[in-house]
């Protein structure tokens, strides 16, 4: 099967040849049809908690939840993602991980889009603000034996862990994760500069949703946001929904991190749902406003995850920062693939998996329309 589009990285009109789920050739078209959509390698989201009413952090995650999230992501241009299991009881975390592993092993629809699992917690700060909407009762110190049980439930699919490096036992835990090939991310933390430096030297490489999961009031300087921003050893993910970071803050942070900026959605199940008040395992009672802001009812200053998807985030990054459309796309393709140690995953090249996203861009409104999402060489929802 062949596909045509205009490469977002070069602007060239091309035809992509696919066989058995692999890109076998990419030819530059001799004539420009003039109506082609943009095309990039498939978008990658490193942090997805749920979407469209489907929850990956419910008390009992089902295959219907996982397939619902995956289909909804495909409709938004996301070809590959990390389901994110958050802080909770030992039983709930293991059940969620086991359900995700079983789904992947079943070969069900879109299973190949799940390229690994992200464990966000439970080894996070217990402090208000820093822990965000994570349940304080279940935040705890790193425990390698417990993590091994989590990894067993996940069938070895946990490839990223977000933790707070100031918790006792974190440094040897980070070293073991890094030795095992797991990406170590810093998040929901109030670590000192010395603790952050020690974590990076132990193997941490990424900041999770930098600028969020923090106390509402911080010293001007130093503080753990400045320290992570200034450290060139760290990549950083940002949620460009206009709520997690004010647009001017996102612009300043992106200018600092430059080519180490990665965009994520951090979407929860309320993405795509109508405004209103809901009950959620994340944050208990939450309110989704008409503008997309999702917060805890009891603590309106604390966000309860994102209700935006990655296509909206790409558009937001272009609108709010100095990023060009091509760079914003790089921040959801090449860069996350590099962080995961799978660079070919983020490339539109011969020999790569046939995973790509055709889309259109409306300059005047700074908006994206996803035309299709291709994974394993197959259209996942077709032209709309």
Q: What percent of the chain has pLDDT over 90?
A: 89
Confidence category of residue 296, pLDDT binned at 50, 70, 90: confident
**pLDDT(211) > 90:** yes
Confidence category of residue 216, pLDDT binned at 50, 70, 90: confident
Query: How do residues 339-351 score in pLDDT, each as one tens digit?
Result: 999 999 999 999 9
**pLDDT(124) > 90:** yes
Q: Is 310 left (phi over 0), alpha (psi -120 to 50) or beta?
A: alpha
Q: Under CATH, domain 42-345 is a member of which superfamily?
A: Metal-dependent hydrolases (3.20.20.140)
Point out which residues pair with 17 in neighbouring strands.
2, 25
Contact assessment for residue 23 and residue 348, using Cβ atoms and an 8 Å cutoff: yes
Q: Which residue has the higher pLDDT, 34 or 166?
A: 166
| Chain centroid to CA 307 | 13
Please report how the helices 170-179 and 144-153 are oriented relative to each other, as an axis angle in degrees rounded to 10: 40
Query: How do residues 47-79 score in pLDDT, each as one tens digit?
Result: 999 999 999 999 999 999 999 999 999 999 999
Confidence category of residue 282, pLDDT binned at 50, 70, 90: low
Point out which residues pair with 225 in neighbouring strands.
none
Residue 59 dihedral angles phi and psi, to the nearest 5° = -65, -30
**For the residues 112-126, what does the mean pLDDT come to?**
98
Q: Domain ranges in the chain?
A: 42-345
Give, for 296, the enclosing helix (H) or strand (E): strand 294-296
Instruction: For residues 187 and 125, give the distance between their C-alpha atoms in angstroms, rounded to a whole number.
Output: 9
Q: What percent of the chain has pLDDT over 70?
A: 99
**pLDDT(384) > 50:** no
Q: Which residue has the higher pLDDT, 17 or 298?
A: 17
Contact assessment for residue 265 and residue 47, using Cβ atoms and an 8 Å cutoff: yes
**For the residues 229-252, what does the mean pLDDT come to?**
97
Q: What is the mean pLDDT of the chain?
A: 95
pTM above 0.85, yes or no: yes
pLDDT for residue 305: 86
Confidence category of residue 283, pLDDT binned at 50, 70, 90: low
Query: How do residues 17-54 score in pLDDT, each as one tens digit?
Result: 999 999 999 999 998 888 899 999 999 999 999 999 99
Give, for 193, the enclosing helix (H) or strand (E): helix 193-202
**pLDDT(383) > 70:** no
Query: How do residues 139-158 score in pLDDT, each as one tens digit?
Result: 999 999 999 999 999 999 99
Question: 155: how many CB neighbours lie within 10 A of its CB?
Answer: 15
């Amino acid at each position: 099967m062949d596909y045509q589009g205009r490469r977002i990285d070069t602007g060239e009109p091309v035809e992509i040849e696919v066989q058995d789920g692999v890109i076998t050739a990419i030819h530059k078209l001799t004539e420009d049809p003039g109506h082609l959509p943009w095309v990039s390698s498939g978008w990658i989201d490193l942090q997805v908690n749920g979407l469209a009413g489907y929850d990956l952090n419910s008390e009992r995650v089902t295959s219907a939840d996982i397939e619902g999230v995956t289909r909804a992501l495909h409709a938004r241009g996301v070809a590959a993602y990390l389901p994110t299991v958050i802080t909770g009881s030992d039983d709930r975390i293991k059940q969620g991980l086991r359900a995700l592993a079983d789904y992947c092993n079943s070969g069900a629809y879109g299973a190949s889009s799940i390229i690994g699992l992200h464990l966000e917690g439970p080894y996070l700060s217990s402090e208000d603000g820093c822990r965000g909407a994570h349940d304080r009762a279940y935040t705890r110190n790193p425990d390698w034996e417990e993590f091994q049980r989590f990894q067993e439930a996940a069938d070895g699919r946990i490839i990223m862990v977000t933790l707070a490096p100031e918790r006792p036992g974190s440094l040897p835990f980070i070293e073991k994760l890094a030795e095992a090939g797991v990406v170590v991310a810093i998040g929901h933390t109030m670590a000192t500069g010395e603790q952050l430096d020690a974590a990076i030297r132990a193997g941490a490489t990424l900041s999770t949703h930098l600028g969020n999961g923090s106390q509402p009031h911080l010293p001007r300087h130093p503080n753990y946001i400045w320290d992570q921003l200034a450290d060139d050893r760290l990549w950083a993910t940002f949620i460009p929904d206009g709520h997690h970071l004010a647009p001017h803050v996102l612009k300043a942070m992106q200018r600092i991190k430059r080519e180490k900026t990665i965009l994520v959605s951090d979407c929860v199940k309320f993405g795509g749902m109508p405004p209103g008040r809901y009950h959620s395992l994340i944050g208990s009672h939450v309110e989704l406003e008409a503008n997309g802001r999702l917060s805890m009812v009891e603590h309106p200053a604390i966000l309860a995850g994102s209700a935006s998807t990655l296509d909206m985030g790409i558009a937001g990054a272009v609108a709010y920062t100095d990023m060009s459309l091509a760079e914003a796309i790089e921040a959801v393709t090449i860069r996350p693939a590099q962080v995961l140690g799978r660079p070919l995953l983020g490339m539109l090249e011969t020999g790569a998996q046939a995973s790509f996203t055709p889309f259109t861009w409306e300059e005047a409104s700074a908006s994206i329309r996803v035309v299709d999402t291709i994974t394993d060489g197959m259209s996942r929802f077709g032209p709309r």
